[in-house]
Amino acid sequence: MQQMSKDELEILIIRCQCGDTRPLLVIWNNVQALITNCAASFLQSSNSIAGVTFEDLHQESYFTMLKVIKAWTPESNFYGLMKVALRNDFIRLTGQCTYQTAKALNRATSLDAPLRTGTDAGNAGTLSELIPDTKDDAGEILHILWLGELRFALEQALSCVTKEQAAALWRKYGGKELSAKEKGLARIGLSRLKRDPRTFSLLESFMDTLA
């Protein structure tokens, strides 16, 4: 499948972020070569640890793509986000643990790896030809993904507070300056979220940040 342009891809991502699910299949088909290469390389380096198969990783990749679509912003690089997120999710799926995120990233797929193996591998091109140039630092990419997950969790949780409290919390965690009144609303709303069992389970992994 011919790689779509950056503008075409971004239009589809924005449509998905607005609730239109129809472009998902197009985006999914567009990242198959990237997923195949990352999954094959991961299995080779991990010796199919925990009995995980290529099919398992391929299925997990769909949920990774959904997460990356949610986290994507016009300032980020979709393919860069996908590559890092795939690696992290593969590691999580197989139960591997790393003491440092960078340690896992250093084992990432080589961009010079051929897209296919065998006698025609030399004519298949490499992964680097699929991925647009990006200056995204790996740590920054992970932070963008984390922010996307936080945003998604907040979207689910803020239905349990008043509209004014929700608006203040969105401004707070969106990096906006708050008035004294908004600070009070955010403080009350956050306290309510932490006490409510329904929202605590959604935000539990972010509690150290939600202060």
Q: How many CA atoms lie within 13 A of 182 on its CB side?
A: 12
The stretch 144-160 carries a mean pLDDT of 71
Does the pLDDT of residue 200 top 80, yes or no?
A: no
Does the pLDDT of residue 2 top 70, yes or no?
A: no
The stretch 87-114 carries a mean pLDDT of 57
| pLDDT given at position 94 | 76
Does the pLDDT of residue 107 top 50, yes or no?
A: no
User: Model-level pTM?
Assistant: 0.50
Higher pLDDT, 169 or 66: 66
The stretch 32-41 carries a mean pLDDT of 92
Give ∠ CA 103-105-110 in degrees, rounded to 5.
Answer: 125
Per-residue pLDDT reduced to its tens digit, 37-96: 999 888 887 765 657 788 889 988 999 999 899 888 888 889 888 988 898 888 887 775
For the chain, the domains span 6-133, 146-206
Which band of pLDDT confidence, cut at 50, 70 and 90, is reported for residue 169? confident
Give me the phi and psi of 114, to 5 degrees please.
Answer: -70, 150
Separation CA 145–CA 68 (nearest Å): 7
Which band of pLDDT confidence, cut at 50, 70 and 90, is reported for residue 114? low
Helices H / strands E in the chain, number of each:
10, 0
Higher pLDDT, 47 or 168: 168
Separation CA 161–CA 164 (nearest Å): 8
Residue type, 179: S
Helix (H, G, I), strand (E, B) or coil at 126: strand
| pLDDT given at position 8 | 92
Separation CA 94–CA 116 (nearest Å): 24
| pLDDT given at position 210 | 64
Separation CA 36–CA 83 (nearest Å): 11
| pLDDT given at position 65 | 92
